[in-house]
Structure 1
């Protein structure tokens, strides 16, 4: 019987240098934020960013983060963003981890010259963490679109 030597699938590609790893994660943090950080800032009156819900107007009407404005990702363009200040960072969110609406919104906004971060987890994780919501259906609204 022959014995087969196993190789590590994890280490098949060597890990990057600590410097490269640090750069990667700092770049990632420059592009993303999470529900807890957004909640903390809003809870403490830190309003240095604009929070935008990029879901449909109907979804926003039913349930959204208090203080967020609605700008569906498919409608983002120069005319729809004329009122937004380019010197304030924008944080976008959509339904949740399985939704790429916030990614699309961030791409469109950045193409127009805005600094943007995507809120990981979207409205789904905002609600899962027990944070307040506004809207006609509030907590009884669908968690996904």
Structure 2
């Protein structure tokens, strides 16, 4: 029998539509992208607390304005004093090459907090040209045209 699939992308066929819908709905329940987080923060009533789970050096280097600094290692001892268990939490760390936000979200979920992870982390926050709180004040870099539209606030996706 001859293999009739010529597309490397389809060597493993797509899931059935109902399975795909369940998978993608679940993903959205666990993750939020930087553009949606920013739009929520800009609204003045985001409905969540944004937690930067990096260590002190990363926090000092720059963080999302308004974020709460709660390193992953400190979550068991400090979360109750900083976070309301009724308010959802969104975690972030360095970026897609780091699973620190995932570890922080897991630690918070185990403590009973409703939680999501900001995919892309601080890397994509910066690459999309969003404000960054630093010791020198709030900074902003030009958006990277490989990650964000230059002439628009959102990707409209």
Which interval holds the TM-score relative to the shorter structure?
Answer: 0.7 to 0.9
Q: Where does structure 1 differ by over 4 angstroms across 4 or more consecutive aligned residues?
A: 137-140
> Which ranges of structure 1 fall in alignment gaps of 5 or more residues?
141-145
CA distance in 2, matches of 1:62, 1:11: 43
> Which ranges of structure 2 fall in alignment gaps of 5 or more residues?
141-157
CA deviation profile, 1:1-49 (whole Å, cap 9, x unmatched): xxx8664443333322111111110000000001000010111112210
For CA contacts below 8 A with separation 6 or more, give which structure has more relative contact order: 1
Counterpart in 2 of 1:143? none
Q: TM-score, normalised by structure 1?
A: 0.85
1:80 aligns with 2:78: yes
For residue 117 of structure 1, give the secondary structure of its aligned residue in structure 2.
strand
Comparing 11-20 and 32-41, the one that deviates more:
11-20
What's the C-alpha RMSD, in Å, of the aligned pairs? 1.9
Counterpart mapping for 1:69-108 below 5 A: 69-77=68-76, 79-83=77-81, 84-108=83-107
CA distance in 2, matches of 1:117, 1:26: 13
Number of residue equivalences: 136
For residue 51 of structure 1, give the secondary structure of its aligned residue in structure 2.
strand
1:50 aligns with 2:52: no
CA distance in 2, matches of 1:47, 1:41: 4
Counterpart in 2 of 1:68? 67
